[in-house]
Structure 1
């Protein structure tokens, strides 16, 4: 079983290293990310859940853990996460079943619940 909190910590360390080495490119990307995720007509919570669905569909574990943690910090409930996984499955089919399962496993760790 993957320790998703440790996985996210390691991913953040790699991201910091990448941002330092890529200088302007990395800084520009992270500014884009910050600006895109800010509250607007859609809440940050909604944007994080949308990002989680896309992360599942594109099969990016780093993105799953990052957007899951940010969604929780933005007020998303475990039920919000489960519904987001449902949408990813509906839009992406089989691969979303596998990566949606990974997102729910990570959510169990973040929310301290057992969805079994």
Structure 2
């Protein structure tokens, strides 16, 4: 099984290296990320669950790792994440089924840290 803790750590390293070469690009993306995920009409938890669902549908391991962990940090329960995975599967079909089950593995990996 993939280790999403390792994927997250590897992505932090890769992003740090990329930032040295293109700080404006990564800084711009991070500003967009902060603006998009802040509390508003939708809670940050709901936004993280939405991002996790899209990450599953897009089959993005780094995105799954980041948004599974962030969903938990924002207070999502394992049950809420299971329902989020269900929506991703409904929207993305077979590939989302594979990545949805891997996202649940990521959630369980992060929950085991606590």
Range class of TM-score, shorter chain: over 0.9
Q: CA RMSD in A?
A: 1.0
Q: Structure 1 residue 16: deviation in Å?
A: 2.0
| Aligned residue-pair number | 112
Which residue is equivalent to 2:94? 94
**Normalised by the size of structure 1, how large is the TM-score?**
0.92
**Normalised by the size of structure 2, how large is the TM-score?**
0.93
Return the alpha-carbon distance in structure 2 between the equivalents of residues 30 and 20 of structure 1: 15
- For residues 19-51 of structure 1, give each alpha carbon's deviation from its aligned partner in whole angstroms, at most 9, with x where no partner exists: 232121111111101111111110111000000
- Divergent runs of 4+, >2 A: none
1:25 is the counterpart of 2:38:
no
Unaligned runs of 5+ in 1: none
1:41 is the counterpart of 2:57:
no
